[in-house]
Amino acid sequence: VETSSKDIIKVTPDGVQTTIGTTTNPPTDAVIGLDGRLYLTYNNRKILVVDLQTGVSSLWTQLATGRVVRCGDFDDNGYFYTGGRRSQLVVVNPSLTDIATGHYANDEIFSIRVYQNYLYLVVRIASPDAQNPELAIWRHTIDENGNVGDRELYLDLTGDEDISSRIIN
């Protein structure tokens, strides 16, 4: 999605670009779902979905009050993991019920990706300490029912001046 025009551009493997639609605001994150549609987060409670064949966008779900999210990703079972600033980690199940996990309730989640039954998150911790660095990549196991396991420090980014001064996506 282009920031200035807000056009949704499809780029084929050979580089051919086609405008397939337009969105009202530039999203903060985008991911292709299991159904082949494009899901957009906007740093608010709404998650939009775009049909890539027609270019038509619609509201996929609106999260509960206080769950302002900026990023997210799907697992292989259709669960959507999402979060943002002080929203905590939220799981949207396939029936579109959103469940707060309690993880990162006071923190800022910059990026979320699912890979091989793990959930990876870039998080700035609001109250860092010896076990919780200010900026890090954390990971959690996830199961086939969307349940999120305990967090595990994957990579501490706090001491790297080149990285810690930037927003990581």
At residue 155 the predicted structure's pLDDT band, cuts being 50, 70 and 90, is: very high
Alpha-helical runs (H) found in 39-168: 161-164
At residue 20 the predicted structure's pLDDT band, cuts being 50, 70 and 90, is: confident
More confident site: 157 or 152: 152
The Cα–Cα gap between 83 and 15 comes to: 32
Question: What is the pLDDT, as a whole number, of residue 26?
Answer: 85
Contacts of 119 (CB under 8 A, 6+ apart): 73, 75, 81, 112, 113, 139, 140, 141, 142, 148
Q: Sort 92 into a burial class: Cβ within 10 Å, 0-12 / 13-18 / 19+.
A: buried
Question: What is the pLDDT, as a whole number, of residue 2?
Answer: 83
At 26-60, the pLDDT tens digits run: 889 999 999 999 999 988 899 999 998 888 889 99
The Cα–Cα gap between 117 and 105 comes to: 22
At 64-73, the pLDDT tens digits run: 888 889 999 9
Q: Is the pLDDT of residue 167 over 80?
A: no
| 135-144 mean pLDDT | 96
* Mean pLDDT, rounded, of the chain: 90
Question: What is the pLDDT, as a whole number, of residue 23?
Answer: 84
Question: What is the pLDDT, as a whole number, of residue 5?
Answer: 86
At residue 165 the predicted structure's pLDDT band, cuts being 50, 70 and 90, is: low
